[in-house]
Structure 1
Amino acid sequence: MAGKVVAILGATGVVGMQMMQCLEERKFPVSRLVPLASERSVGKTVRFCDTDYPVQLATPQAFAGVDIVLGAAGDTQAAELLPQAAQQGAVCIDNSHAFRLCDDVPLVIPEINKQDIACHPRNLIANPNCATIIGLVPTWPLHQAAGIKRMIVSTYQAASGAGMPGLNELVREHRALNAGQDVGATDPFAYQLAYNLIPQIGGFTEENYTSEELKMQHEGRKIMHLPQFCVSCTCVRVPVMRSHSESITIDFEKDISPEEARAILSEAPGVKVVDKPDELVYPMPLDASDQDLILVGRIRRDLSSPRPERSLTFWCCGDQIRKGAATNAVQIAECLL
């Protein structure tokens, strides 16, 4: 297979570094790597396939001759640079929020809608939000079996969701507290995260939902081609380093038992059933970290439902940096091949 010139926009960030690791692990045919970042990272090197590559300044000119761009930068930089890279012929797979809800940009989870990749008129393909990916990968096969009516979700999102600044801040807070010191000013979190929970991710918008909470519904409608898909979501930042967890309750159109759900999920791509409560076996973020499967367990009927035979509750965990971001983007790139 002919090698591709692959650029990583935001190569020195936590997701950009993970993208390179995933490319190497999955033996993606890279003929040349082009790591791009802001001015403060120029002069650094990144290692890929036993070769050190100098980090270049992210400018429109840097995309000349590039076949595929994996975007791991913020919304502003993505919106400015990726359309210019696309105009030069590169297919851009972007992890930011900048293009996710654009009608002419596919929003893709390969386990669900890889067929949408075939039509990308702007040379742009969007990677969904991390919590959306982690929640919908196990939800989709259940929907195919019984049809979703609505979904109630609570997410427990790790510090890694705020990138390297979030990881560094949680470590700093623990060190300060262990030394008997005051945590002091916190950044990027509004409050101390160590030994705490913060029930806000993103700014407050419609009906006092946050922007993060609305993504599951808006992105899910586009990915699953379900314009009436309804979600009530609460997103919470938790003092976990890596991997998000989600508690999900779904009302279905048809009857579906926990046993049927386990059988369906045991065959579903990208999912691993971890569900033996009698043996205290269930998904946890530690076990979900540094791998690409969504772990699903605690599968049970929703006893509060008027139709419990058509309602299920389950718990899932997934690595936000890998499947929730980098791996999903690399999987899309593999589909392009």
Structure 2
Amino acid sequence: MTMTIEQEIREKAAELGFVACGFARADAAAHAGPNLLRWLGEGRHGEMGWMETRKEQRASPAGLWPDAKSVIALGMSYAPARDPLELESHPELGRISVYAQGGDYHKTVKKALKALAHWLVDRCPSELKVFVDTAPVMEKPLSQAAGIGWQGKHTSLLSREHGNWLFLGIIYTTLELQPDAPGSNHCGSCSRCIAACPTGAITAPGEIDARKCISYLTIELAGPIPHDYRGAIGNRIYGCDDCLAVCPWNRFAESAAANRAFLPRAELAAPKLADLLDLDDAAFREMFSGSPIKRIGRNRFVRNCLIAAGNSGSRNLLPAAEKLRDDPDPVVADAAYWAAERLAS
């Protein structure tokens, strides 16, 4: 029996490493735009000005590209083999979010998206655009509309097969593709993700205040981390997996399905804070070459490590913290004074 173009796309996507593939009309997530504008209006995006600047383009596919007829939503697994919370009891080590322990997902996912796009254009001449995270595209609502999962109470995309360990890629196309049924919510009465958030950033099911989120505080925020949240950060030095790690749906996620490019690098799986506090700019760039961590720069990263050092209770880290009180970056110096005071007392 002859395959439909949708079946062919799914088969090719699987060949390229995607574990999920679905289709939706370009206007299928109409609710997402108003929700975004309300969220921005409440200031919950914090200092992420890029979300405000291109909000009209982000609100719907038509806002970015009026010619788009269909959306292809794709997911690539990065399911971890180990419990992301296991380093919580090792305060002298830094905790890096699972997604950032391996290679830069932007490059891996985009390479596969481009390969799928070239194949599709050859198969069905059309126009299309590919996106991975950095464009003004609402990947999660569109992915739910395309049926590859649903947005959980923590706002991340959830899949019954892959848990919440999915990198998302989106293709806008002028092709008229048969849409899939949208993903239905299977969270039920579970609220583990809400209870697990160290800073109370999940203010209600499906509602998050980025200004309180440890991922925002350690990655997006350029200035000093507010004192109210420093203790709750613990030893998290880049991102936070707590709300993701406690989700019961993850028991169905197979680490074997994860793309090998996302396997953790040995030096990032359980790094010693003492080593990280010694990084200068050149050493930071060398250590994080090819990693998404590189984009936040040495100063912001060392700031995070100093907060973790201050929370560690390890006086062995006091000399490193004291030394960094003279750092030329005032944000690093501020964190160093805080850490040294905590460790000395």
User: TM-score normalized by structure 1?
Assistant: 0.25
Bigger strand share: 1
